[in-house]
Amino acid sequence: MALVQLQNASVVFTTRRYKNVGLKDFLLRGLFRRSVNPHITVRALDRISFTLHQGDRLGVIGHNGAGKSTLLKLIAGVYPPTEGSCRVEGKVAALFDLTLGFERDASGWENIRYRAYLLGETPRSLEPKLQQIAQFSELGQYLEMPIRYYSSGMIVRLGFSIATAVEPEILVVDEILSAGDASFREKARRRMDQMISQARIAVLASHDLNSLQEFCHQVLWLDRGQMRMLGPAEEVIAAYKEHCGLRQAA
C-alpha cells in the first residue's frame, strides 16, 4: 500500500546574507563586527501535516515562494525534514526539471538512457520502453543528433517523453501539466491523465487551477511555507481565487 504521511514537517535552509563579500567591505566593516556576512535562516516549510492513502490526489497551490516545490522535493526525498517527520511508502517518480541529466553533446538516444537511469530505470527495464519513448517524442532521425542542435521545444518533447514513461506508485509533479509546444500539448495532457489515473497517489503543484480542480480531490494552499487551507479541491480553490482577487484590487 502506498502512503505519504507528514507530521509537523519543516524544512529550514541556512544561507549567507551576501553571496560574496569584497575585500574593501571586509576591511572597512569586518574587522569591527562579529560577522560581515551573517547567516540567515529561512523556513521554507513550517510544520506541515497531512496523510495521503492509496487513491488520493492532492493539488498544491500558492504564490511563487510559498513552498510548493520544496514540499514536493521533501516527498520525493530530495530534502530531508529539518523538523518533524516525512514517511513515504512506495516507488516515487518525481517530475520536476524535464531536462535534468541531459548532456548537450550526446545524442537523443543517449540522453534517453541518461535521463531514464536518473529516474530509477535499469538497462533491463528501459529496453522495452525505448521505442515507445522515441515514438511519443516524434523526433525521428533527430534522435541520432546531439541535442545541442535541438530547439527548446524539441528538448521539452524529449524530456517529457522520457519522464512520463515511468510507472510510479507515487507521482509527484511540479508545473509540467502543460509541457511542450501547442502541437504536442494535447497528446502530453492525455499522457499525464493516464499517469495520474494509474498512480496510487499523486501530488501535483501548479498555477493551473482548472487542471488541479479536474485532477485532484483535495487541495493544499501554502502561504509562506505554512498551511493556509487544506480540504476539498473546489472549496480551497474558490477561497484562493477570492483571496487573490482581493489582493489584486487592493
3-class SS of residue 73: helix
Can you give the pLDDT at residue 185? Answer: 78
**For position 163, what pLDDT does the model report?**
87
Task: Measure the CA–CA gap between 188 and 177, rounded to whole angstroms.
Answer: 8
Using DSSP's 3-state secondary structure scheme, residue 199 falls into coil
Domain 3-90+207-249 fold is Rossmann fold (3.40.50)
Q: Which residues contact 158 (CB under 8 A, 6 or more apart)?
A: 108, 111, 112, 137, 139, 147, 150
Q: Percent of the chain beyond pLDDT 90?
A: 57
Give the 3-state secondary structure of 125-174. Answer: HHHHHHHHHHHHHCCHHHHHCEHHHCCHHHHHHHHHHHHCCCCCCEEEEE
User: Residue 38: pLDDT above 70?
Assistant: no
Give the model confidence (pLDDT) of 191-221 as tens digits.
888 888 889 999 999 888 988 998 899 999 9
The Cα–Cα gap between 235 and 1 comes to 28
Q: Which residue, 153, 152, 140, 155, is CA-closest to 106?
A: 155
Of 19-28, 79-88, 102-111, 210-219, the one with minimum mean pLDDT is 19-28
DSSP three-state, residue 211: helix
Looking at residue 234, its pLDDT comes to 95
Q: Which CATH number fits domain 95-199: 3.40.50.360, 3.40.50.300, 3.40.50.10860, 1.10.3720.10?
A: 3.40.50.300
The domain ranges of the chain are 3-90+207-249, 95-199
In percent, the amount of the chain with pLDDT more than 70 equals 86
**Is pLDDT at 23 greater than 80 in this prediction?**
no
Mean pLDDT of 155-165: 90
pLDDT tens column, 2-22: 999 999 999 998 876 666 656
Distance (Å, whole) CA 53 – CA 219: 15
CA atoms within 13 Å, Cβ hemisphere of 239:
16
pLDDT score for 94: 84
Position 4 scores a pLDDT of: 97
Instruction: State the residue for C-alpha cell 524530456.
Output: 159
- Identical fold for domains 3-90+207-249 and 95-199, yes or no, is yes
Contact 48, 227 (CB under 8 A): yes
* Lowest-confidence pick of 54-63, 127-136, 142-151, 240-249: 240-249
Cell of 111: 540522453
Give the strand pairing for 3-16 and 39-53. Answer: antiparallel
Q: 96, 72 in Cβ contact below 8 A?
A: yes
What are the grid coordinates assigned to 124, written together?
533491463
Overall average pLDDT of the 181-196 stretch: 81
pTM of the model as a whole: 0.79
Count of positions (residues) in the chain: 250
**How far apart (Å, rounded) are the C-alpha atoms in residues 86 and 81?**
7
Higher-confidence residue: 182 or 77?
A: 77
Residue 78 has pLDDT above 60, yes or no: yes
CA angle 176-179-182, nearest 5°? 150
